[in-house]
Every structure is written in C-alpha cells, then in structure tokens.
Amino acid sequence: MLLKCYKNFINGAYLANSSGETFEVINPATGKVIYQVEVADEKIKQQAITSAQQGFAKWSAMSATQRSRLLLKAVALLRERNDELAKIEVLDTGKPWQEASVVDVESGADSIEFFAGLAPGIEGNQQPIDGDFYYTRRDPLGICAGIGAWNYPLQIACWKAAPALACGNSMIFKPSEETPLGALKLAEIFTEAGIPDGVFNVVQGAGEVGAWLSHHEDIAKISFTGEVNTGKKAMTAAASTLKDVTMELGGKSPLIIFDDADIDNAVSAAMLGNFYTQGEICTNGTRVFVQKSAYPKFIEKLVQRTSQNIIVGDPMAPETNFGALISRKHFNTVLDYIKVGVKEGATLLHGGKSIQPENASEGYFIAPTIFTDCTDEMTICREEIFGPVMSILTFDNEDEVINRANSTKYGLAAGVFT
Ligand code: NDP
C-alpha cells in the first residue's frame, strides 16, 4: 500500500520541498509505518520565514478583538473535529483513546479559548512623571517559534500557538519528528477559521530543524517543550541572537503522602501520576514519599488496584487505559532504567517487563512498574525516566521529607496528600 506523504505547511497551504527528503512515522502500538513526512529543506525554511513575516504584518495590524474572533472559530472547529484529531494522536503517540478523546484536543481548544478571551483586555499603563506622564503599550514580538515534544503533540501546538497568536505574533512550529501530524491539522484549522496565511506555519524534521529555528536571527522568541539537555541547547542557541525563551522541560517530581491522608485518594494520585499516558508526562510524581506508618496500607492498595484496574492493549480499544511507549528506542531506555533500579538494590514489586497484549502484540508496551525500598541516591530516583516507573520511598517527618523532595535538579511539580 502506498503511504500518504505529508508536506510542510507554509503560508496557508501545503508546500512541497525540493530535496525530496522524507521521514517515516511509526504507530507505537503496532511498530508499523503509518505515513511519511517531507523534511523542511532550505527552500521550505526560507519560505517559512518569508511567510511568517508576511503573516505577522497582516495579523499584528488587526485589532485584538478581530484576532480573538478568528481564534474562537478555530476553537469551535477543534471541538467539532475532536474524534478525528484524537484518533491521530492515538495512532501517533500510542496513548489510549480513553484519554485522547477527552483530554488532548479539548485541553488544546481550552487554551486557545482562554488566550483569545484575554487578548482584547491586554493593556499598558500610564504613570505620572514630573507633572507629565508616560505610557506603556504591549506590542507583539514578531515571529515566534514553537518546538514541541511527542507526548501531547496537538495540545502542545495549541498551547504554544494560543498566547503567541492571541497577542498578534506569527508562529513557525516544529513538532517532534515522532508525532508530526497534529500540528499540521491545527494549521489547516487555523486557515479554515480565517486566520491569515502565514500566521501559523509548520516545518517538519528532527533536531536540526529545531536548532535552525533557535539560531535564526529573524525569530524573536522560542517556546520549547522537551528534555532538559535539549532545552539547554535551544536556550544557548537563542542567546546568540538574544531571543526570548520559554522552556517547558523535564521533571522528577515528588508526591508526598502523610499518614493522615485519605489513602484511597492518595493511591489514585500515585497511579495517575505514574501511569497516565503510560507514564510519559513531564509533571509525573515519580518519587512517591510515603510516611512509614501509612506504608503497609498504601502498598497493599496500590498493588491491588494496579493489578486489577490497569488494562494494557490496543490504544484504540475503548477499554484500554494504558498504551504503548512512543518508540522502540524509548522502550529500550525505560527497560534499561528498570534494570538499573534492580541492580542498585530497589525491590521490584510490580511489572518491570515488556508485555505483548493479544490485540497489539508488536507494540512497545511496558507493564506498570512499582519499585519499593528506594533511596534518594538511586538513579531511578534522580533521573527522569518518562515511562511507567514509580519509585516509592518512605519518611518519618515533615522537615525530612520536604528536604528530600526538594533535593533534585528539576523543578516542575509536586503533590502533597494530608
Ligand atoms: P526532546 O528534548 O528530545 O525533543 C523536543 C523537541 O526538540 C523535538 O521537537 C526535537 O526534535 C527538538 N530538538 C532536538 N534537538 C534540538 C536542538 N538542538 N535544538 C532545538 N530543538 C531540538 O524531548 P522529547 O520529544 O523526547 O520529549 C520528552 C521530554 O519533554 C521529557 O523530558 C518531558 O519531561 C518533556 N516535556 C515537558 C513538558 C512540560 O510542559 N514541562 C511537557 C511535555 C514534555 P525531534 O524530536 O524531532 O528530534
């Protein structure tokens, strides 16, 4: 069967590259190639800049109310097409339909709606000075670049486009090479909503395209989502032309459970914070600190509910609530971390291995994994795994746990149950 080949989206339409270079996209639940995408070559890159400059000129000249009205049309289209878009996200990422059909598109649309609502209300201020006054006003920056990760591809594209476009900027967005389709669909929707050509452009390719955006002198700002080390590269490159940057990076967040907490509720949080989207979420509470007196009860309930309630399988099956990891490479990385956990002395209480569900036997599935007897120094408690691996640690008192919870190079999130 001839696979569909998607092009880059420039100036309101799909544009063919000159090099003919393409890459393949794999469905993580089957291991099969599902479509191809053209790489942004020199021609595409140049046209993306020209297009975004022209888009900016038109878009920034419109009133905030006009921009808001068009963005709200896009919001309506996103919601209308929820199921079609959610299916793309399931096939690209391997996450369950149960999640994508109610979260991914919806939260993307919510974000655009939120910023579209704010735009007409953005004002400067005026201050008295020596009997006179001065005033400030908020102007758009120009071309903003968005660089996205693969775990919430459409949602990340929406979250980056929303504030940038609402404030009158244009955008060149580069999705992850592993999940390139959602952003193209968003570009189609913006165009259909009447947003001028060139306001939202999508360039495709691997890190090299992201690096090109981060260095480019005509780009005023980078909004990046991805790993800390890649973020450092993007930020360093952005500094070469003094771009503004927004970084949404990795985490190793603590979830602290005191003995006076509602334990069922805390178990729900630990499961959600480690196994939702098969653990591929930046804010996950992967270091679960449990107060010693609550530990036996917590563990009993956690193992029981993880064994009984998690259904691993074909992500499109309605009953599946735990899907496949993004790629073979990432699957191997997560398995390696599990081996390191065992080697460093943690107790593997649950999971810890790959699985081949009957309805998706070729996919990159790893069982929900729980380690106990963890210590703060272990690799699995220090590094972001970005997979379904929960590390449980115990503590005696509040001062101790807060110190230990904060003893990480990451920021991002934290949870407390008490
Ligand atoms: P990566 O850092 O590997 O990639 C992120 C994006 O950067 C991709 O589009 C990638 O392209 C691109 N890229 C690669 N090299 C460069 C470069 N030198 N300059 C500019 N861009 C580059 O992250 P993942 O895609 O693996 O995503 C997982 C990570 O994202 C995790 O660490 C996770 O915690 C984090 N994340 C953070 C979120 C937050 O809001 N804080 C939300 C979601 C995820 P390509 O992949 O095509 O090579």
DSSP labels for 357-381? -GGGTTS-EE--EEEES--TTSHHH
The Å distance, Cα 230 to ligand 1 centre, comes to 6
Encoded tokens for 320? 């599946």
Question: Residue 381 Cα, ligand 1 centroid: separation in angstroms?
Answer: 21
- Provide the residue type at 104 as one letter: D
Atom of ligand 1 nearest to the CA of 247: 41
Distance (angstroms) between ligand 1 centre and the Cα of 194 equals: 30
Residues with CB under 6 A from ligand 1: 147-151, 174, 176-177, 206-207, 210-211, 214, 225-227, 230, 233-234, 248-251, 282, 384, 386, 412
Atom of ligand 1 nearest to the CA of 237: 19
- Spatial CB neighbours of 162, under 8 Å, sequence gap ≥ 6: 71, 111, 112, 114, 115, 116
Rounded to whole angstroms, the Cα distance separating 245 from 243 reads 6
Alpha-carbon torsion, ordered 68, 72, 74, 75, to 10 deg: 140
- Please identify which residue in the block is written with the tokens 């980056």: 160
What SS3 state is found at 147? strand
- Nearest CA residue ID for atom 23, ligand 1: 226
Distance, CA of 190 to CA of 69 (rounded, Å): 12
* Alpha-carbon Rg for the chain in angstroms: 23
Listing DSSP states for 62-83 in one string gives S-HHHHHHHHHHHHHHHHHTHH
DSSP three-state, residue 158: helix
Spacing, Cα 405 to ligand 1 middle (Å): 25
For the chain, 418 residues long, give each residue's pLDDT as a single digit of tens: 789 999 999 999 999 999 999 999 999 999 999 999 999 999 999 999 999 999 999 999 999 999 999 999 999 999 999 999 999 999 999 999 999 999 999 999 999 999 999 999 999 999 999 999 999 999 999 999 999 999 999 999 999 999 999 999 999 999 999 999 999 999 999 999 999 999 999 999 999 999 999 999 999 999 999 999 999 999 999 999 999 999 999 999 999 999 999 999 999 999 999 999 999 999 999 999 999 999 999 999 999 999 999 999 999 999 999 999 999 999 999 999 999 999 999 999 999 999 999 999 999 999 999 999 999 999 999 999 999 999 999 999 999 999 999 999 998 999 999 9
Helices (H), 94-170: 97-100, 104-118, 153-166
Distance CA 225, CA 156 (A): 8
Partners of 147 in the β-ladder: 174, 224
Atom of ligand 1 nearest to the CA of 174: 9
Closest residue CA from atom 34 of ligand 1: 250
Q: Which of 23, 92, 230 has most ligand 1 atoms within 8 Å of CB, for mutation?
A: 230
What residues contact residue 225 under an 8 Å CB cut-off, 6+ apart? 147, 148, 149, 156, 160, 248, 249, 282
- What residue type is assigned to position 156 of the chain? I
SS3 content of the chain, % helix, strand, coil (to 5): 45, 20, 35
Please give the pLDDT value at position 257. 98
- Read off the pTM: 0.96
**How far is residue 367's CA from residue 323's CA, in Å, rounded to a whole number?**
10
pLDDT of residue 411: 83
Minimal-distance CA residue to ligand 1 atom 35: 226
Pick the residue whose CA is nearest to atom 15 on ligand 1. Answer: 207
Q: What is the pLDDT of residue 2?
A: 85
Atom 12 of ligand 1, residue of closest alpha carbon: 207
pLDDT value of position 374: 98
Ligand 1 atom, smallest distance to 148 CA: 9
Q: Which atom of ligand 1 is nearest to the CA of 175?
A: 9
Main-chain phi, psi angles of 230, to 5 degrees = -70, -40
Residue to substitute in 208, 222, 225 for testing ligand 1 pocket (most ligand atoms within 8 angstroms of CB): 225
Pocket test for ligand 1, best of 147, 156, 280 (most atoms within 8 A of CB): 147
Q: Are strands 143-147 and 221-225 parallel, antiparallel or unpaired?
A: parallel
The rounded Å distance from CA 26 to ligand 1 centre is 18
Q: How many CA atoms lie within 13 A of 54 on its CB side?
A: 12
Amino acid at 58: K
Q: What's the pLDDT score for residue 1?
A: 72
What stretch of H or E contains 60? helix 42-60
**Which two three-digit tokens encode residue 366?**
């790893």
User: Which atom of ligand 1 lies nearest, measured to the CA of 412?
Assistant: 41
Beta strands 365-366; 354-355: pairing state = antiparallel
Return the residue matching tokens 């259904």.
311
Closest CA to ligand 1's atom 28: 226
Consecutive H or E run containing 331: helix 328-343
Phi, psi at residue 366, to the nearest 5°? -125, 135
Interatomic CA distance for residues 306 and 189, integer angstroms: 39
245 Cα–ligand 1 center, Å: 14
Distance CA 262, CA 345 (A): 30
Residues annotated as catalytic (active site), given as ranges: 174, 248, 282, 384
Distance of CA 208 from the midpoint of ligand 1 (Å) = 12
Atom 46 of ligand 1, residue of closest alpha carbon: 176
Q: How far is the CA of 149 from the centre of ligand 1 (A)?
A: 4
What is the pLDDT, as a whole number, of residue 161? 98
